[in-house]
Amino acid sequence: MERTAKTYFFSFIGILLSIFIIYQILSYCNFFRNDLIIINKTVYSNLLPENDFKSPYTPKIKFADRPVTKINGVSLNILNETNITNVPMLLKAQRYYIPLKFICNKLNYTIDTSADSILLSSDDNKIELTENSYDKNSRTGTLRGNLINSNGTNYISISDIEEIFNLIAVFDFKNNNISLLPNNITTPEDSSVLYSDKIALIRFEDFTCGYSNTVDKNQTKIKCMADLLYSQGMKFHVGWIPRFVSPPDNIDNDLLKVNNITNVGFVNLLDYILNKGGEIGLHGYTHQHGNEISGSGEEMSKDVNNTIPETRAIIENGIDVASALNIPISFYESPHYRGTELQRKVIEDYFQFLYVPFDSTKKNVYSPDDYHLYVPAPLGRVHDLDTSDIINGLNKNDPDVLNSFYYHPSIEIDYINFNTIGNKLNVTFDEKSPLQQIVKTLNDDKYTTVHIGELTAK
């Protein structure tokens, strides 16, 4: 009897030890290595594609080859100093550049060029620059515009000045002026993503340099939206239409040909979004055909651009614009989701991740093969300022439905007001706005937002 009791005791201890070891192994894989990916209580580690997809397409237009020209007539406000007009300025790929030495003097940074890199120092910070990267407070990042060396002088883009010096650029198109003001947005802590049964995907839709995005104040307001998400540690996506066309208004805003401060402000906005946790993808090239207007028209369907060469031209045109402007892109979304099976197969030659229409039989992400991932938005979109479908879906957290949705940022504009009184950006952001309501729900329900590019087997 005593031996039997001891046998049971040690067997019990052995079972507990085995459970503990298995739990530790699973915890290690999931938290420290992210080998197990769990989405809505479903383990997707065997269903997701590997992360080694490479497109065979080489862009025909490269950022490095874009011309550099001198710009006149643009003034700057830097902190408390206004209407600075004597600054040499360059233009490359819809970005304005000013001398690195000039901005460092204004911000009380010294410059040391004695090593292979450039060291910028102030009382509080040290920043190390190379031609295309920066290191600040042990955080390394990629410069959006790279440094330009012209006649022995290093120039830095407005976008990169914003990022490395903690400033925000506010454009005034009418007066050809840019204000560089303090940006006090708190940087969220970096942490490994622990995939759980509560993840969400956010996408800004139909994003282009047309409609309300050509208004300087609206561009700043979208920066405020990006700041809101960034301050909450939330990742998001942008479905970008690279070329805005409106034949009835005789508008063809080709970012590779039309150089003006409006387009510079828009590319600066794209840079800002990237620096604040956004991931950008292509939403067609013009999102229209014929006499239609971008965003409302078709570009891919069974009746429009329905051959392989036509489809390839649309995709490659968009990739070329992104390459020329140095805008990294990570997914594709056919306009109005009307791409046919043939068109989707062509898209797969260039992109691993595709946003696709919601299919009630495939409510979560799914792989058509070993290399690609299709991601729907089952929670739909904000329609007529109504967030109820999205918020109800998030609250419900149906294990069979991916918590993915999209949003047209223009509907948020009326909820944001700002001024630059006191040489700082003073923002009033109505907490009743659609985005504020969604952000509150994501926080209250303890969701983790992820990028589409993270949905791969490690």
The β-bridge relationship of strands 278-282 and 236-240 is: parallel
SS3 state at 99: strand
Instruction: Report angle CA 142, 144, 146 to the nearest 5 degrees.
Output: 85
At residue 400, the pLDDT reads 82
**What pLDDT score was predicted for residue 22?**
44
pLDDT at 399: 81
Closest CA to 178 of 163, 164, 159, 165: 159
pLDDT at 139: 86
Q: What are the pLDDT digits (tens) for 345-390?
A: 999 999 999 999 988 888 788 888 888 999 999 999 999 899 999 9
Q: Give the per-residue pLDDT at 16.
A: 53
The half-sphere exposure of 5 on its side-chain side, counting CA atoms within 13 A, is: 2
Residue 13 confidence (pLDDT): 55
At 377 the pLDDT is 95
pLDDT at position 10, please?
A: 53
Rounded CA separation 291/295 (Å): 12
Instruction: Determine which helix (DSSP H) or strand (DSSP E) holds 225, and give its type and residue range.
Output: helix 216-231
Residues of the chain with pLDDT under 70: 1-48, 189-197, 456-458
pLDDT digits (tens, 9 = 90+) for 158-217: 999 999 999 999 999 999 999 999 998 877 765 445 555 589 999 999 999 999 999 999
